[in-house]
Structure 1
Amino acid sequence: MSQTSDFPLSAVPNDQRKGLWSMMSVLLGFTFFTSTMWAGGTLGSAFTFYEMLGIIFVGNLLLGAYSAGLAYVASKTGLNTVLLGRYSFGTYGSKLSDFILGFTQIGWYAWGTATIALILVKLLDLPESWAVPLMVVFGFSFCITASIGYKALELLSKYSVPAMLFFIGLSFYKGLVDVGGLSQLVAIEPTESMPVAAAITMVFGTFVSGGTQATNWSRFASSGKIAVFTTLAAFFIGNGLMVFVGAFGASIYQQADIVDVLVSQGFMLAAVLMLFTNIWTTQDNTIYNFAAAGCNLLRTDKRRLVTWVGAGLGTVMAIAGMYNMLIPFLILLGTFIPPIGAIIMTEYFVRYRGSMPSLDQVELPKYNKIGIVAYVIGSACAYMSPWVAPLVGIVVSSLTYSYLLFVASAKSERLEAA
């Protein structure tokens, strides 16, 4: 199998593993994304400065811990989430999680494609009729690096991440000057209201689908420590920074997107460069995730073909109006995605006690009924919960799966004794 295929249906071999800086650049490039700033903008309008910091800290700590746990499992097994799903849900049952995870990534891809086209039309004062052609152009351009594979994602991120950090620092400094200093920023009063639980759910939901599928890269980590550290840094610090940037911009300029903020500050060139680097480094990772789920769903190793097909689907959804569905989409992700990762981690740590057999050495059932039941119960509890839905989904699905494993084991022992 060629290295550019990135092993869509098998574990990553040891000689293809990556080090700290390679993993860090790819994962940070993934979490630096415009939509996260939009979620932050909602917080900036609904909470005081210190309340907002507390929500960002709690939401991203939960997201980082969840993602890092999955990253550890991926690095130890060399498998991504969709392949690990075969253990938790069965060889056929895992197709359900493939579909759910693949659909969420196409939704993200559609939103990002629509976003860059619409913002460029606005920034450059182009005719509105240019929006759809630009969506088509970007929809297929963004997947070029993803179709090549990990090496292309790494190369793009190594240059883009430092550039984005510079633009963010520039904008933050100018914002503090414009508002009159930190004391004036802290004194800004919220203009809207939002329940704290819903706010934490939204912060968690901004990238929980990405965190669940970040195993597509953490499985390349040369050690469990590198996988955990880089994933925690990307999803706790990196994603947290994006949420804060959105809240910061909304508080001062009533603009959540740093691109709009940079324009307001007079940095047009920086705004355009930030737009491209910010969206491209996430779009290629997103469609890469879709390809991983699609390959497992269809049982094909033609990752590049699946990548291009996914780009086509995402482009169609962008044209159809995905841009206006962001907040409901985020809350949906925060409800139904976390139980998948929770069950996979429970499978690894509880059932196999950290020693999971390789895919080619274990006979898996077509449907792992207890895994599917645990997912349904966890998702239902998350959906109906008035509290933090992602956390409820994770805890309930993990406890349910652990209990069902115990019951199944006890029943098996009784049958053997008889």
Structure 2
Amino acid sequence: MLLGFTFFSATMWGGAEIGVAFRFWPDLALIILCGSTILAAYVTGLGYVGYRSGLSTALSARFAFGDAGSRWSDALLGLTQIGWYAWGTATIAIILVRLLNLGAGWEIPLIFVFGLGFCLTAYIGCRGLAALSKVAVPAMLLLIAISGAVALRSADGIDGLLMTGSAGTLTVAEALTIVVGTFVAGGTQVANWTRFAGSARTAVGSTLLAFFFGNGLMVAAGAVGAAVYGLSDIVEVLAVQGLLSAGVLMLFLNIWTTQDNTIYNFSVAGCHFFRTERRRLVTFAGAAAGTGLALLGMYDWLIPYMVMMGVFIPPLGGVIMADFFVRYRGRYPALEEAALPRFNLPGLAAYAAGSLAALAVPGIPPVNGIVAAFLAYACLARLPAHINRSNRSRETRQMGQVSGGSFRAQR
């Protein structure tokens, strides 16, 4: 299911954007490797929190930001998923219009059809997500293998590929932010799946496989096509390769597996935000909102959107991990017994510090955001009790240490 989530065409578009900006070897290869490592390390940490606690990201955020403060993270994560859903919906509509040589007037009806249709498997639930992924993941692997072989032939083999690409249109920091930003928003919510894992090995291993190998493969596939053909639009690359017809079917499955996981993430955050159990209604409402955003032109905002995700989302995960590993030492108290404050001020302040570091400190914005948020929270959480009494006094009374296994039993 996580591979189906990370096998996403937008990641190939992001890879294509950096593929035309850097020489394939060693610059581009190192950027993809470093960016994928950063993303995988970050998401794996959150995946372990989900397994160990048995809680979704939204519920972990309640400990980190407070009962009311967690609604901020719900809103931010939910809105990012709506943005991805809008982009995927617009993309498949535009691809079909190009392939079938339809008039521009067909885009709007197709956006409506796909915008509402893609949410059906998420409407069913995790079983629907898993069933679709079993079909789409092998299909996408086949497409990548064929497209890569054609690209290598066009570049006259490995030696020709190593000479492709240029430099100057993106900085290394911007390129790394794009690689991380492709799935940092979805990866921050990985606990929505790993909370169901049967073991730590399963939770950590599947997360590493999806976000290092799966996401890295998507970036590399887009980058190689762009490096060889000089095109940053993966649809145009497939057309040049003569793979557009077969590619569209596989891209359709590929987009669908990410769309349903994306809107599922939105439903989890939305249900927590509104404190409701009407998940299916929230799912449909999110799909409708994403469809509306697709109609407003989300297709053209992909790269700025990825950069924004790489700046403002990682500090959320940094705070959650610091809260779990430093403050609670790897075990949350029982959620129904914990007397949480409305606003956990150290968590909110640490998020602000992480975001500021991602924006202003030289270096790699996602790394700056994660590290700054983690360290800021670790320091603030250790403030003397008279400074931080609004958070500590109510929690220490009922710290009943409950293991992650017990949480899963309680659910």
Give the TM-score of the pair, scaled to structure 2.
0.92
> How far has the Cα of 1:109 moved from its partner?
0.5
Distance 2:22 2:272 in 1: 42
> Is the CA contact (8 Å cut-off) linking 2:32 and 2:219 kept in structure 1?
yes
| Alignment match, 2:225 | 249
> How far has the Cα of 1:177 moved from its partner?
1.3
> Is the CA contact (8 Å cut-off) linking 1:101 and 1:293 kept in structure 2?
yes
Gaps of 5+ in 2: 394-411
Instruction: Tell me whether 1:287 sits opposite 2:263 in the alignment.
Output: yes
Coordinate RMSD, CA, aligned: 1.6
> How far has the Cα of 1:193 moved from its partner?
2.8
Instruction: Tell me whether 1:136 sits opposite 2:115 in the alignment.
Output: no
| Alignment match, 1:30 | 5
* Secondary structure of the corresponding residue to residue 406 of structure 1: coil
> How far has the Cα of 1:189 moved from its partner?
3.8
> Is the CA contact (8 Å cut-off) linking 1:136 and 1:315 kept in structure 2?
yes
| Alignment match, 1:185 | 161
Cα gap change, 1:34 to 1:234, in 2 (>3 Å): same
> Is the CA contact (8 Å cut-off) linking 1:245 and 1:256 kept in structure 2?
no
| Alignment match, 1:16 | none
Instruction: Tell me whether 1:274 sits opposite 2:250 in the alignment.
Output: yes
> Is the CA contact (8 Å cut-off) linking 1:348 and 1:356 kept in structure 2?
yes
Deviations 1:344-383 (A, max 9, x none): 1111110111121121121111111111111111111211
- Map 1:379-398 → 2, pairs under 5 A: 379-398=355-374
Query: In the alignment, residue 370 of structure 2 is paired with which amino acid?
Result: I
> Is the CA contact (8 Å cut-off) linking 1:64 and 1:231 kept in structure 2?
yes
> Is the CA contact (8 Å cut-off) linking 1:212 and 1:337 kept in structure 2?
yes
> Is the CA contact (8 Å cut-off) linking 2:315 and 2:369 kept in structure 1?
yes
Deviations 1:366-415 (A, max 9, x none): 111111111111111211123111110111111110111111458679x9
Distance 1:210 1:244 in 2: 19
Cα gap change, 1:104 to 1:412, in 2 (>3 Å): closer
Instruction: Tell me whether 1:106 sits opposite 2:82 in the alignment.
Output: yes
Q: Percent identity?
A: 52
> Is the CA contact (8 Å cut-off) linking 1:260 and 1:271 kept in structure 2?
no
- Map 1:14-413 → 2, pairs under 5 A: 26-49=1-24, 50-190=26-166, 192-409=168-385
Distance 1:45 1:346 in 2: 38
Distance 2:385 2:259 in 1: 43
Distance 2:84 2:61 in 1: 21
Cα gap change, 1:269 to 1:189, in 2 (>3 Å): closer
Query: In the alignment, residue 93 of structure 1 is paired with which amino acid?
Result: G
| Alignment match, 2:399 | none
How many residue pairs get matched?
A: 390
Question: Which stretch shows the higher mean deviation, 261-270 or 384-393?
Answer: 261-270
| Alignment match, 1:14 | none
Distance 1:83 1:178 in 2: 50
Distance 1:255 1:133 in 2: 28
Distance 1:301 1:178 in 2: 53
> How far has the Cα of 1:236 moved from its partner?
0.8
* Secondary structure of the corresponding residue to residue 79 of structure 1: coil
Query: In the alignment, residue 199 of structure 1 is paired with which amino acid?
Result: A
Distance 2:99 2:168 in 1: 28
Gaps of 5+ in 1: 1-25
Distance 1:412 1:199 in 2: 39
Query: In the alignment, residue 297 of structure 1 is paired with which amino acid?
Result: F
Deviations 1:14-67 (A, max 9, x none): xxxxxxxxxxxx000000111111111121111111210100000110000000
Cα gap change, 1:268 to 1:411, in 2 (>3 Å): closer
Give the TM-score of the pair, scaled to structure 1.
0.90
Distance 1:386 1:250 in 2: 28
> Is the CA contact (8 Å cut-off) linking 1:87 and 1:364 kept in structure 2?
yes
Query: In the alignment, residue 189 of structure 2 is paired with which amino acid?
Result: Q
> Is the CA contact (8 Å cut-off) linking 2:12 and 2:218 kept in structure 1?
yes
Deviations 1:187-233 (A, max 9, x none): 12416432111111111111100110122111111112211111111
Distance 1:342 1:352 in 2: 14
Cα gap change, 1:410 to 1:232, in 2 (>3 Å): farther
Query: In the alignment, residue 4 of structure 2 is paired with which amino acid?
Result: G
> How far has the Cα of 1:125 moved from its partner?
0.4
Distance 2:233 2:141 in 1: 15
Distance 2:151 2:251 in 1: 18
> Is the CA contact (8 Å cut-off) linking 2:16 and 2:226 kept in structure 1?
yes
> How far has the Cα of 1:251 moved from its partner?
1.2
> Is the CA contact (8 Å cut-off) linking 2:60 and 2:320 kept in structure 1?
yes
Distance 1:412 1:152 in 2: 45
Query: In the alignment, residue 41 of structure 1 is paired with which amino acid?
Result: A
* Secondary structure of the corresponding residue to residue 365 of structure 1: coil
4+ runs of 1 displaced by more than 3 Å?
A: 255-260, 408-413
